[in-house]
Structure 1
Amino acid sequence: MYIIHYMAKAPRPPHKLKFAIIATDTVLFCGSQRDLKVLLMKVDRPPFYKEHWGVPGGLIHPKETADEAAKRHLWEKAGAKFAHIEQLYTFSALDRDPRGRVVSVAYLALTPTTDIAKREGSVVCWFSVANLPKLAYDHKDIIRTAIERLRSKLAYTNIAFGLLPEEFTLGELQRLYEIVLCRRIDKRNFRKKLFHLKLVVGTKKKKRAGRSRPAELYRFSERRHKVIGIL
């Protein structure tokens, strides 16, 4: 019998199954010039959870990989696209799901936009990571682990490309780093490192913000994951 049927159609309750069910959960972050946001879905699983929230996820189908399942759940349940996704960690605490023995392969995903496609039957919303609602399961731990991974990878990769649009100012890039890292960065040294590593290239375009002098727009030299020591 396929694994997916055991959760909904098994002749015995999930907590009496003799094996673990495998699922995926994906933390999708979106950067902005004010805060770091995470995409959450409403979780109503009485009697265990009522008016709770959680990251998009679900069971892995018998004929798909964990990577394929994570991407499918993001799109089918949350209507979300991403610029980068990677496997984060496997969460396997015995009590992580009150309904039964479920192991979650968690993912970290990034997007530069808050745009999502509406999905019937799903309530989806962006929340600031600094002001999260009540979370179901162990999703608080999953989100915390994803934040730690993102902060770490900002220091030695170009992963920031997943949180910014195609074109941006150097000020916007620095602000993104400061928001995620929760600390100030020296402007001169930061820009010197960007140019030394050839992380960004100019577009010969400018952007005006308010009454300030127009700022030059840049783009990443590569929009794919790359190890590069920036901090």
Structure 2
Amino acid sequence: MTETTDGDVTIAVSTVIFALRSDGEGSAASLRLPLVRRIRAPFDGRWALPGGPIEATESLVAAAGRNLRETTALEPNYLEQLYAFGDADRSPYERVVSIVYWALVRSEQADLAEGKNVRWFAADELPELAFDHNLIVEYALWRLRTKMEYSRIAHAFLGETFTLAELREVHEAVLRRPLDPANFRRQIEASKAIIATEQHLTGGRHRPPRLYRYNTSVELTDNGPLGRS
């Protein structure tokens, strides 16, 4: 986490990035996030959320996006301001207020975030992180799982088209519980949030499943992508 200072208070921008990743072909995908190993005090050597400085002429969301590109090479499909964290004792040396964003990326995009000081961790099985970053991740997980219940946020983990099974697997991975396929289909179709295309997924052994896309004309209760909150 890099900071800029304004008087006695330091302002920082950090981002929680979520992606669905698996350990290999045939294994189920799980919710994971990249962390960056700190190379200076405080908390030298400890893992932390990626972040960086705020330039004098850029907005907060622009700073979050730029620092993600610089630290992890990621450009998320979904980037939203999460919360401001500013407890007086969150940093041992000075008063630091962090403006935190959360981002969602597809699994193929997540492969870009690899490097000597970058590592992906299971979102629910983190080591002790720098500052109060464990608390921040917990809050981001709660926000993500809450929004999965009523918004089209799962779209950020998928391509433009997807099968119902792929959509259900996203919900199961994020919510950490199995969902009945028939009930899930009924609920999704009743919401009119998706539209069946004339395309089918090819390459499988069985009857190719139909591909769907999100219905952009349906208004759902959702803050929306790319910084609207």
TM-score range for the pair, normalised by the shorter chain length:
0.7 to 0.9
CA distance in 1, matches of 2:219, 2:45: 36
CA distance in 1, matches of 2:96, 2:196: 48
CA distance in 2, matches of 1:224, 1:127: 35
Equivalent positions of 1:110-129 (< 5 A) are: 110-113=104-107, 114-116=110-112, 123-129=117-123
Q: Which runs of 5+ in 1 are unaligned?
A: 7-16
Q: 1:118 to 1:189 in 2, by over 3 A?
A: closer
Matched, 1:105 2:99: yes
- The match for 2:214 is 220
Equivalent positions of 1:180-199 (< 5 A) are: 180-199=174-193
CA distance in 2, matches of 1:204, 1:194: 18
Tell me which amino acid in the other structure corresponds to 2:31: L
Tell me which amino acid in the other structure corresponds to 1:115: D
CA distance in 2, matches of 1:184, 1:73: 36
Query: How far is 1:38 from its partner?
Result: 0.7
- The match for 1:94 is 88
- The match for 1:54 is 48
Query: How far is 1:76 from its partner?
Result: 1.5
Matched, 1:36 2:31: yes
1:43-84: CA deviation from partner (whole Å, max 9, x where unpaired): 1224x3233211111232222221111111111221111111
CA contact (8 A) 1:157 1:225 kept: no
- Equivalent pairs, count: 212
CA distance in 1, matches of 2:113, 2:20: 18
Matched, 1:205 2:199: yes
Q: Which runs of 5+ in 2 are unaligned?
A: 22-27, 223-229
- The match for 2:225 is none
Match of 2:67 among 66, 73, 78: 73
CA distance in 2, matches of 1:216, 1:43: 46
CA contact (8 A) 1:159 1:226 kept: no
- The match for 1:14 is none
